[in-house]
Amino acid sequence: MGTTGKRLLPAGLGFNPLRFVGVKLFLVIFAGFLLCVVSLGLFSLDQSETIIRRKVADSNMATAQQAAARIDQLLQSYEQQTMQLISNQDFINALNMAFAPSATDYDRYVAQRDIVNLFNAQRLSDERVAGLYIVSADDSVPVIASTTLNRTPDRAAMWDLPFVQQVLDLGGRVMWVPTMMNGLTQEYERPTIAVTRAVSVFTGTPAYLAVEIFADVLETLLLGVSTGEGSVTRLVAPLESGYRVVYSTEPEEVGTDYTYEIPEAGSSATLEIDGESMLAVAGELSLNGWLLVSNVPVAELVKDVASIRNVTVLVTVVSILIAAGIGFLVMWMVGRPLRRLRRLMNEGEKGNLTVRSSIRQRDEIGQVSESFNRMMEQITELVRQTNRIADEVLDTAAELAEASRKTAASAKEIAVATEEIAKGATNLATESERGTEMTAHIGGQVQAVIRENEEMGQAAAIVEDSGRRGAEYMAELLTKTARTEEMTRSMTARVEKLKESTGSIRQILEVLNNITKQTNILSLNATIEAARAGAAGKGFAVVADEIRKLADQSRQSIGVVGEIVENIQREIDETVGVMAEANPLFQEQIASVREATEIFADVRVRMNDFVQRLEQATAAVGRLEEAQHALNLAMTNVSAVAEESSATSEEVASLSHEQQNVSDELVRLSSRLEAASRGLRESLSKFTIN
């Protein structure tokens, strides 16, 4: 039983492994896992890099704004020094005297000395101050200054500086002068910046006050701005033609033009600087509109992503191994029993009814296996019964054919006898002298006809009984064939129920998919709340991110399982197709049985008609015998008897011809029955039951 010793492939399947459902399931699961893990890894890398950039940008932006605020405080202190000077009444009086046209040279000298003393007090109290200056358009008044150079600067040179007119136009408001590499006097070896105000209102002539500060006062503040390894921080001042570097953590850039793009104040941007991607942030000074710009290489920010990439590669390799194991497990649990059932069905389709399934599982595949075994047992029993009935029908057909041939021979003999009787009746008038001899001869012939009629009656009874038995056998065969067809439909219904079960699985998968979507939304909300919580919510943000990743993995896995269920449903449809291919054999068998039943019914009708004809012939023979007795009693009435005998002979001849026709038709029907029986036998010979 079974075909465990053979490995037969279905027709047209060949040796292509991709045609096997188990291999398909393995490839689908393997590819699904691989795609899920690789996609999730790439997505995680991209998200990690994006989050790092955003977090660093926010942090750097906060750092830049804090540094800009500190620089604002520093520069505001120097603005306040200029404000203290112009608010000092002694300074104002001395300034008026120094530039008064009516003042004597001594008064001017005293006034200039007082101003210089005030300047010295300011300069000596802050070593970062390079000098304080009063510069006027009056060439008769020298520059009033207190500097670390200990000499009076050239008035004309300081009045011709490019920012002077702009300072005078501001009318006493503060103006900051960006970095000058050698100071206002062009005599310093260190770069300086300056805060200036117009004091023309006090001098009566165009003049300005300048407090010059060494630019390296900004060094400590800028060095404290750390936005990442390899970062460069610059304080730049906007000019009409671009930007000027006021100070930089790179000393060689101080006082040079800044030619790179700058993000908007209070924002960040990723820029290409000298062929390198840089994250730039900008903070604006509220006093003078200068910008604190910090650039950090993006590569330094995301270098930690390499560790995430290594973890992703490791997880991908582990997932590939897991996917391979799961794929082989599914291929063994689903593909292997399906292939075995398919091979068994192909054997059954070829007519081998001895195959049986040895699958013993507690699932739908096991139920299909048990149904297949029950179906093959029923079909085997049906074929056995059909073979037995076909043998009986074939024997009955042979007996019927033999009886029909005998009946045809008897009909021919009866025809010959009636012809002879007719001839005798015709010649009776002219051969009355031979009446006695002919009467004896007719008597013998009549006895022979009677015996033949008796034999024909017995044969007709045998044929009628055989036809009745054949009809009963055909009815029983039709009933069992119908039961087999009903069992096939029941098995098809079970497979359809299995399809409904797979549909229920798909609905459950849709519910699970909705749950993963809700989980993903919850994790997103949790991430948002964690971000709002700041540093306190970082741990919760990591947990929420892991939940979201698990939800994405669940959604991908549910999609893969949905595809597996669809493949199983498609294999079930193929199983139904194979079962449907077996139905034509049953339909052909039912048609053959019905045709044989109709033949038996026709035989019974013909035999009933034949019996009636035979009874009529017997009655005619009886009348012929009575005529023969009358001929012996009354030879004198030869003419009347001859006419009656002639009429009777004609009637007998007619009946004999009809009987012969019936016999010929019976022979033809017997031949058809025998041919149908042989065809049924040949159809059943395709099945192997032993």
Residue-level pLDDT at 537 = 75
Question: 88: pLDDT confidence band, cut at 50, 70 and 90?
Answer: very high
Every domain of the chain and the residues it spans: 364-684
Q: Determine the average pLDDT of the residues in 345-351.
A: 78
Which tens digits make up the pLDDT trace of 379-392? 888 878 887 887 78
Residue 18 is classified by DSSP as G
Q: Does residue 7 surpass a pLDDT of 60?
A: no
pTM comes to 0.44
In one-letter notation, the amino acid at residue 244 is R
Question: 160: pLDDT confidence band, cut at 50, 70 and 90?
Answer: very high
Q: Burial of 220 by CB count in 10 Å (0-12 exposed, 13-18 middle, 19+ buried)?
A: exposed
**Measured between alpha carbons, how far is 652 from 412 in angstroms, rounded to an integer?**
12
Q: Which one, of 232, 218, 260, 266, lies nearest residue 71 by Cα?
A: 218
Residue-level pLDDT at 119 = 92
If one compares 68 and 551, the residue with the highest pLDDT of the two is: 68
User: What DSSP string describes 374-385?
Assistant: HHHHHHHHHHHH
Which tens digits make up the pLDDT trace of 487-520? 777 777 777 777 777 777 778 878 888 888 888 8
Which tens digits make up the pLDDT trace of 98-121? 999 888 989 999 999 999 999 999
Q: Does residue 86 surpass a pLDDT of 60?
A: yes
Q: Does residue 206 surpass a pLDDT of 90?
A: yes
Question: 208: pLDDT confidence band, cut at 50, 70 and 90?
Answer: very high
Structural contact between residues 215 and 68, judged by C-beta atoms closer than 8 angstroms: no
Q: Does residue 87 surpass a pLDDT of 80?
A: yes
Q: Does residue 175 surpass a pLDDT of 90?
A: yes
CATH number of 364-684: 1.10.287
Question: 429: pLDDT confidence band, cut at 50, 70 and 90?
Answer: low
Which tens digits make up the pLDDT trace of 569-623? 787 777 777 767 767 776 777 787 778 778 877 877 877 777 787 777 777 777 7
Q: Does residue 168 surpass a pLDDT of 90?
A: yes
Which tens digits make up the pLDDT trace of 9-59? 444 445 566 666 667 777 787 788 778 877 877 777 677 767 777 777 787
DSSP helix/strand/coil, 537: helix
Q: Which residue has the tokens 């390894």?
A: 229
Strand segments, DSSP code E, in 125-256 are: 129-136, 144-147, 175-180, 192-198, 207-214, 232-239, 242-248
Which tens digits make up the pLDDT trace of 433-480? 666 676 777 777 777 777 777 777 777 778 778 777 877 877 887 787
Structural contact between residues 662 and 415, judged by C-beta atoms closer than 8 angstroms: no
- For Cα atoms 110, 113, 116, give the angle at the middle one, nearest 5 degrees: 155
Residue-level pLDDT at 76 = 92
Residue-level pLDDT at 20 = 63
Q: Does residue 335 surpass a pLDDT of 60?
A: yes
User: What DSSP string describes 275-337?
Assistant: TEEEEEEEEE-TTT--EEEEEEEHHHHTTTHHHHHHHHHHHHHHHHHHHHHHHHHHIIIIIHH
Structural contact between residues 533 and 473, judged by C-beta atoms closer than 8 angstroms: no
Q: In Å, how far from its chain's centre is CA 483? A: 42
What are the residues whose beta carbons fall under 8 Å from the beta carbon of 550, sequence distance 6 or more?
A: 519
